[in-house]
Protein backbone atom coordinates (compact mmCIF):
# COMPACT_ATOMS: atom_id res chain seq x y z
CA UNK A 1 0.00 0.00 0.00
CA UNK A 2 1.32 3.40 -0.90
CA UNK A 3 2.27 5.78 1.88
CA UNK A 4 -0.27 8.38 0.78
CA UNK A 5 -3.28 6.05 0.98
CA UNK A 6 -6.20 7.66 2.87
CA UNK A 7 -6.29 6.73 6.53
CA UNK A 8 -10.03 6.10 6.25
CA UNK A 9 -9.60 3.32 3.68
CA UNK A 10 -11.68 0.27 4.46
CA UNK A 11 -10.12 -3.13 5.07
CA UNK A 12 -6.52 -1.97 4.79
CA UNK A 13 -3.72 -4.47 5.04
CA UNK A 14 -2.78 -3.07 8.47
CA UNK A 15 -6.22 -3.41 10.06
CA UNK A 16 -5.71 -6.97 11.37
CA UNK A 17 -3.19 -9.74 11.81
CA UNK A 18 -2.18 -10.66 8.23
CA UNK A 19 -1.98 -14.31 9.25
CA UNK A 20 -5.71 -14.38 9.98
CA UNK A 21 -7.76 -14.35 6.76
CA UNK A 22 -10.85 -12.20 6.66
CA UNK A 23 -12.74 -15.14 5.17
CA UNK A 24 -11.97 -18.81 5.73
CA UNK A 25 -14.24 -21.54 4.35
CA UNK A 26 -13.67 -25.24 5.03
CA UNK A 27 -15.66 -27.89 3.13
CA UNK A 28 -18.68 -25.59 2.81
CA UNK A 29 -21.78 -27.09 1.20
CA UNK A 30 -25.13 -25.65 0.15
CA UNK A 31 -28.13 -27.75 -0.87
CA UNK A 32 -31.46 -26.41 -2.08
CA UNK A 33 -34.55 -28.61 -1.64
CA UNK A 34 -37.60 -28.04 -3.84
CA UNK A 35 -40.30 -30.68 -3.54
CA UNK A 36 -38.48 -33.93 -4.48
CA UNK A 37 -35.51 -32.23 -6.14
CA UNK A 38 -32.20 -31.86 -4.28
CA UNK A 39 -29.81 -29.37 -5.88
CA UNK A 40 -26.20 -29.29 -4.70
CA UNK A 41 -25.39 -25.62 -5.33
CA UNK A 42 -22.01 -25.75 -3.56
CA UNK A 43 -19.89 -28.82 -2.85
CA UNK A 44 -16.78 -28.94 -0.69
CA UNK A 45 -15.76 -25.28 -0.97
CA UNK A 46 -12.40 -24.38 0.57
CA UNK A 47 -11.50 -20.70 0.28
CA UNK A 48 -9.40 -18.14 2.17
CA UNK A 49 -9.40 -14.40 1.44
CA UNK A 50 -6.72 -12.35 3.16
CA UNK A 51 -6.83 -8.67 4.06
CA UNK A 52 -5.91 -6.49 1.09
CA UNK A 53 -6.64 -9.09 -1.60
CA UNK A 54 -8.67 -8.54 -4.76
CA UNK A 55 -10.29 -11.85 -5.66
CA UNK A 56 -12.59 -12.56 -8.60
CA UNK A 57 -14.96 -15.52 -8.80
CA UNK A 58 -15.93 -16.53 -12.30
CA UNK A 59 -17.62 -19.38 -14.12
CA UNK A 60 -20.63 -20.20 -16.31
CA UNK A 61 -24.20 -19.34 -15.34
CA UNK A 62 -25.57 -21.60 -12.64
CA UNK A 63 -22.15 -22.68 -11.34
CA UNK A 64 -22.76 -21.34 -7.83
CA UNK A 65 -20.98 -17.96 -7.96
CA UNK A 66 -23.81 -15.86 -6.54
CA UNK A 67 -24.75 -18.56 -4.03
CA UNK A 68 -21.19 -18.49 -2.73
CA UNK A 69 -21.22 -14.69 -2.50
CA UNK A 70 -24.50 -14.82 -0.55
CA UNK A 71 -22.88 -17.16 1.96
CA UNK A 72 -19.81 -14.94 2.23
CA UNK A 73 -22.08 -11.95 2.90
CA UNK A 74 -24.09 -13.82 5.55
CA UNK A 75 -27.23 -13.43 3.47
CA UNK A 76 -27.65 -17.22 3.51
CA UNK A 77 -26.32 -20.12 5.56
CA UNK A 78 -24.47 -23.27 4.42
CA UNK A 79 -25.81 -26.77 5.08
CA UNK A 80 -22.38 -28.00 6.12
CA UNK A 81 -18.77 -27.06 6.61
CA UNK A 82 -17.16 -24.21 8.55
CA UNK A 83 -17.10 -20.46 7.90
CA UNK A 84 -14.90 -18.14 9.94
CA UNK A 85 -15.04 -14.36 9.45
CA UNK A 86 -11.95 -12.59 10.81
CA UNK A 87 -11.30 -15.68 12.92
CA UNK A 88 -14.84 -15.86 14.30
CA UNK A 89 -17.12 -18.82 13.58
CA UNK A 90 -20.33 -17.52 12.06
CA UNK A 91 -22.39 -20.68 11.52
CA UNK A 92 -24.11 -20.42 14.89
CA UNK A 93 -24.76 -16.67 14.94
CA UNK A 94 -28.30 -15.50 15.60
CA UNK A 95 -30.10 -13.43 12.97
CA UNK A 96 -29.44 -10.12 14.75
CA UNK A 97 -25.75 -10.99 15.16
CA UNK A 98 -25.44 -11.80 11.46
CA UNK A 99 -27.13 -8.50 10.62
CA UNK A 100 -24.64 -6.67 12.83
CA UNK A 101 -21.67 -8.29 11.06
CA UNK A 102 -23.16 -7.41 7.67
CA UNK A 103 -23.71 -3.79 8.67
CA UNK A 104 -20.33 -3.22 10.30
CA UNK A 105 -17.96 -5.51 8.43
CA UNK A 106 -19.28 -6.10 4.89
CA UNK A 107 -19.95 -3.68 2.06
CA UNK A 108 -22.24 -4.90 -0.73
CA UNK A 109 -22.15 -3.77 -4.37
CA UNK A 110 -25.06 -5.07 -6.45
CA UNK A 111 -25.55 -5.43 -10.20
CA UNK A 112 -28.80 -3.44 -10.10
CA UNK A 113 -27.35 -0.63 -7.88
CA UNK A 114 -30.33 -0.91 -5.46
CA UNK A 115 -30.51 2.82 -4.82
CA UNK A 116 -33.72 4.28 -3.34
CA UNK A 117 -35.29 6.58 -5.90
CA UNK A 118 -36.85 9.16 -3.59
CA UNK A 119 -33.68 9.61 -1.54
CA UNK A 120 -30.79 11.88 -2.50
CA UNK A 121 -27.35 10.50 -3.30
CA UNK A 122 -26.10 11.59 0.13
CA UNK A 123 -29.03 9.95 1.92
CA UNK A 124 -28.58 6.72 -0.06
CA UNK A 125 -24.91 6.56 0.86
CA UNK A 126 -25.56 7.34 4.51
CA UNK A 127 -28.38 4.82 4.90
CA UNK A 128 -26.23 1.97 6.36
CA UNK A 129 -24.98 4.31 9.09
CA UNK A 130 -28.52 5.01 10.32
CA UNK A 131 -28.62 1.42 11.61
CA UNK A 132 -25.56 1.95 13.81
CA UNK A 133 -25.64 3.27 17.34
CA UNK A 134 -23.44 6.11 18.48
CA UNK A 135 -22.95 7.91 15.15
CA UNK A 136 -23.92 11.56 15.27
CA UNK A 137 -25.46 13.42 12.36
CA UNK A 138 -22.25 15.41 11.87
CA UNK A 139 -20.14 12.25 11.85
CA UNK A 140 -22.52 10.58 9.39
CA UNK A 141 -22.41 13.56 7.04
CA UNK A 142 -18.59 13.64 7.20
CA UNK A 143 -18.36 9.93 6.40
CA UNK A 144 -20.78 10.31 3.48
CA UNK A 145 -18.77 13.22 2.09
CA UNK A 146 -15.53 11.19 2.32
CA UNK A 147 -17.07 8.16 0.64
CA UNK A 148 -18.49 10.22 -2.22
CA UNK A 149 -15.18 12.01 -2.65
CA UNK A 150 -13.39 8.66 -2.98
CA UNK A 151 -15.64 7.59 -5.88
CA UNK A 152 -15.66 11.01 -7.57
CA UNK A 153 -19.32 11.76 -6.88
CA UNK A 154 -19.16 14.46 -4.19
CA UNK A 155 -20.49 17.03 -6.66
CA UNK A 156 -23.66 14.96 -7.11
CA UNK A 157 -24.58 14.42 -3.46
CA UNK A 158 -27.82 16.47 -3.70
CA UNK A 159 -28.98 14.74 -6.88
CA UNK A 160 -31.38 11.80 -7.07
CA UNK A 161 -30.68 8.41 -8.71
CA UNK A 162 -32.90 9.16 -11.72
CA UNK A 163 -30.70 12.17 -12.51
CA UNK A 164 -27.58 9.99 -12.83
CA UNK A 165 -26.21 7.72 -15.53
CA UNK A 166 -25.84 4.00 -14.88
CA UNK A 167 -22.13 4.38 -14.25
CA UNK A 168 -22.73 7.23 -11.81
CA UNK A 169 -25.38 5.21 -9.96
CA UNK A 170 -22.94 2.35 -9.54
CA UNK A 171 -20.31 4.74 -8.19
CA UNK A 172 -22.85 5.92 -5.63
CA UNK A 173 -23.55 2.28 -4.77
CA UNK A 174 -19.82 1.74 -4.24
CA UNK A 175 -19.73 4.79 -1.94
CA UNK A 176 -22.61 3.31 0.06
CA UNK A 177 -20.61 0.08 0.42
CA UNK A 178 -17.56 2.05 1.57
CA UNK A 179 -19.20 4.45 4.02
CA UNK A 180 -19.14 2.07 6.97
CA UNK A 181 -15.44 1.26 6.46
CA UNK A 182 -16.07 -2.49 6.14
CA UNK A 183 -13.51 -5.27 6.35
CA UNK A 184 -14.39 -6.48 2.84
CA UNK A 185 -16.36 -5.37 -0.23
CA UNK A 186 -18.48 -8.04 -1.95
CA UNK A 187 -19.44 -7.16 -5.53
CA UNK A 188 -22.01 -9.25 -7.41
CA UNK A 189 -21.66 -8.60 -11.16
CA UNK A 190 -20.95 -4.88 -10.58
CA UNK A 191 -20.69 -4.19 -14.33
CA UNK A 192 -23.60 -6.38 -15.44
CA UNK A 193 -26.04 -3.48 -16.06
CA UNK A 194 -23.51 -1.12 -17.63
CA UNK A 195 -22.31 -0.38 -21.14
CA UNK A 196 -18.67 -1.08 -21.95
CA UNK A 197 -17.46 2.46 -21.20
CA UNK A 198 -19.13 2.69 -17.79
CA UNK A 199 -18.17 -0.90 -16.97
CA UNK A 200 -14.51 -0.12 -17.55
CA UNK A 201 -14.84 3.04 -15.46
CA UNK A 202 -16.31 1.12 -12.52
CA UNK A 203 -13.61 -1.55 -12.77
CA UNK A 204 -10.97 1.18 -12.76
CA UNK A 205 -12.55 2.54 -9.58
CA UNK A 206 -12.48 -0.89 -7.91
CA UNK A 207 -8.83 -1.21 -8.89
CA UNK A 208 -8.07 2.15 -7.28
CA UNK A 209 -9.85 1.12 -4.08
CA UNK A 210 -7.80 -2.06 -3.97
CA UNK A 211 -4.60 -0.07 -4.49
CA UNK A 212 -5.62 2.07 -1.47
CA UNK A 213 -5.90 -1.08 0.66
CA UNK A 214 -9.49 -2.27 0.30
CA UNK A 215 -10.23 -6.00 0.29
CA UNK A 216 -12.52 -7.02 -2.56
CA UNK A 217 -14.27 -10.20 -3.67
CA UNK A 218 -16.08 -9.85 -7.00
CA UNK A 219 -18.34 -12.24 -8.88
CA UNK A 220 -18.28 -11.71 -12.64
CA UNK A 221 -19.12 -13.65 -15.78
CA UNK A 222 -16.82 -11.41 -17.85
CA UNK A 223 -13.34 -12.96 -18.18
CA UNK A 224 -11.83 -9.57 -19.06
CA UNK A 225 -12.77 -8.12 -15.70
CA UNK A 226 -11.97 -11.32 -13.82
CA UNK A 227 -8.40 -11.00 -15.10
CA UNK A 228 -8.05 -7.60 -13.40
CA UNK A 229 -8.15 -9.22 -9.96
CA UNK A 230 -4.87 -10.34 -8.41
CA UNK A 231 -6.33 -13.82 -7.74
CA UNK A 232 -8.98 -15.63 -9.77
CA UNK A 233 -11.30 -18.36 -8.49
CA UNK A 234 -12.92 -20.60 -11.11
CA UNK A 235 -16.20 -22.40 -10.40
CA UNK A 236 -18.00 -25.17 -12.23
CA UNK A 237 -21.07 -27.09 -11.04
CA UNK A 238 -20.76 -25.82 -7.48
CA UNK A 239 -17.08 -26.63 -7.10
CA UNK A 240 -13.89 -24.59 -7.17
CA UNK A 241 -11.61 -25.87 -9.94
CA UNK A 242 -8.28 -24.82 -11.43
CA UNK A 243 -8.15 -22.89 -14.68
CA UNK A 244 -7.15 -25.88 -16.82
CA UNK A 245 -9.99 -28.00 -15.45
CA UNK A 246 -12.40 -25.12 -15.97
CA UNK A 247 -11.56 -24.83 -19.66
CA UNK A 248 -11.72 -28.63 -20.13
CA UNK A 249 -15.14 -28.91 -18.47
CA UNK A 250 -16.54 -25.99 -20.45
CA UNK A 251 -15.25 -27.52 -23.69
CA UNK A 252 -16.87 -30.86 -22.82
CA UNK A 253 -20.15 -29.13 -22.00
CA UNK A 254 -20.12 -27.19 -25.28
CA UNK A 255 -19.40 -30.41 -27.18
CA UNK A 256 -22.36 -32.15 -25.49
CA UNK A 257 -24.63 -29.22 -26.34
CA UNK A 258 -23.56 -29.26 -29.99
CA UNK A 259 -24.21 -33.00 -30.16
CA UNK A 260 -27.63 -32.55 -28.54
CA UNK A 261 -28.64 -29.76 -30.93
CA UNK A 262 -27.32 -31.73 -33.89
CA UNK A 263 -29.39 -34.75 -32.86
CA UNK A 264 -32.52 -32.62 -32.63
CA UNK A 265 -31.97 -31.22 -36.12
CA UNK A 266 -31.55 -34.72 -37.54
CA UNK A 267 -34.77 -35.84 -35.81
CA UNK A 268 -36.69 -32.81 -37.13
CA UNK A 269 -35.44 -33.39 -40.68
CA UNK A 270 -36.49 -37.04 -40.50
CA UNK A 271 -40.11 -36.12 -39.73
The yes-or-no verdict on residue 4 having pLDDT over 70 is: no
Per-residue pLDDT, 74: 96
Per-residue pLDDT, 266: 60
The yes-or-no verdict on residue 257 having pLDDT over 80 is: no
Q: What is the Cα–Cα distance from 208 to 10, expressed in whole angstroms?
A: 12
Per-residue pLDDT, 16: 55
Mean per-residue pLDDT over the chain, rounded: 88
What domains does the chain contain, in order, with CATH numbers?
Answer: 23-270 (3.40.50.300)
Distance in angstroms between the alpha carbons of the first and the last residue of the chain: 67
Per-residue pLDDT, 96: 93
% residues pLDDT > 70 (the chain): 88
Q: Per-residue pLDDT tens for 67-79?
A: 999 999 999 999 9
**Global confidence as pTM:** 0.84
Residue 207 in contact with residue 235, Cβ under 8 Å?
A: no
Q: Per-residue pLDDT tens for 181-215?
A: 999 999 999 999 999 999 999 999 999 999 999 99
Amino acid sequence: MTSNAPNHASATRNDMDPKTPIIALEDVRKIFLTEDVETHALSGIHLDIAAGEFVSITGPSGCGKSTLLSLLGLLDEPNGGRYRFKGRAVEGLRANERAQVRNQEIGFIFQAFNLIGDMSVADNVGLPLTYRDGISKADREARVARALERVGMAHRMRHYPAQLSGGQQQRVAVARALVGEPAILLADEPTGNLDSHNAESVMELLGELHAQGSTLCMVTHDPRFAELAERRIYMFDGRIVDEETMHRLRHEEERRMRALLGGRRVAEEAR
